[in-house]
Structure 1
């Protein structure tokens, strides 16, 4: 590796490390503990610790890391959008130059872990397996049914409370619709051959289908309808889920915990922070 390559890698490492240090300093300057901030964000303290230590490998993925950084920074009074963009600009190039040795080491560790778990399962035996399996299934179904009917939301005064999906549905239904107009992407310039070719309107051009993607960094209740009022999706979505929808826009979107959702429309990220009212939102997009 040349000296210039080493310098560039070192500079990238130093720049990225400033991100975690910035978050830590802001939290300490406010006299807050990780546990207090984690409770405000409905996240684990370990997640915030990983952000401050720049341990992104311990977090789920780029979309969610950006969301965590943005939410954490906003709580601390920092520019969440700016720090989120800093992560994308500075961390992503480094992911392509991670040593192959680290990848192989992680693969071996994962193999040994899986083998150890399988060994424990064999040792445990099959005698009581069926009974415990049935018991776990019944409990899991009961828990899921309870969770699907309720969600924890933050009120206007900042307090957290449990609210039923019916209540959230009624609240968003009574809200005014906030319209968001998306700017169409500029088409790529045609080549000389394409410009001289006869124009033939394809079926995809005549009947354009809009693409909608919702990524959840926190639990949130949603309801999405298309231009004809057809319901495309509804219910409670859990942190870590990604929902992809397509149809005839504009879409009407109800969000029970809007701060926990990232929205992309036809490949463009949607900024709807100003449309949120008390952590819930009702927007028309398209």
Structure 2
């Protein structure tokens, strides 16, 4: 026996078995197919088992098979041709009764005679109802089938950069340093070596303070914002590398220090460890 003959014999011959084999090849479950075709699970199982007598009718069976084939990307024509030999024999539709000139029922002298004109509206209503049902079936069978399976959208949440949250106060507070409590700048040799031209004003320069309850030493450029217990901002500025600041106020203090790894903080001469309060190089904490 040739390989072509064996391959032909191994292929399923029934309409339903071919649809089922294709569905399993695509890795689709019966529930997924039923959801896409808007059918019940038992109707899909009836189609795959070639039990078309359990479906609403032959017209529905043809439409179900056609849409099933489209969903699986199969040619529906050969399936529909084979389907004709599997459909059950339907009872011939009873013809509508003919309307005579005068149709009446005589049940004695007490009942009036019923004329054809009184039955005509019922016949017309029956014809209209049949047309609506047939039109609904035709509309359903013409609906396109989408083979894409519904998948829930994936929601993406952007990460929060804590540096971006705290960087905004730098530009807004740089101009407010002139109105704050006196902050002494004690230049170090590294800062003195920098070529910075200070702005000279005619007014007399006050003697800078060289002591305070808090002392800040910047090994690298950093920015500092400190509020005391009264809510007064005692400092808010960018300290250059090598700079030093002394500030005083009423404890407790609320501090935010950028570039905390390159900043040293002293409270009454004792160094404060900033590492436990630092996240992404920014330290935010309260100091008593």
Q: Same fold (TM over 0.5)?
A: no
Point out the structure with max Rg over C-alpha.
Answer: 2
The alignment's TM-score, normalised by the length of structure 1, stands at 0.29
More helix by percentage: 1
* Higher RCO structure (Cα 8 Å, ≥6 apart): 1
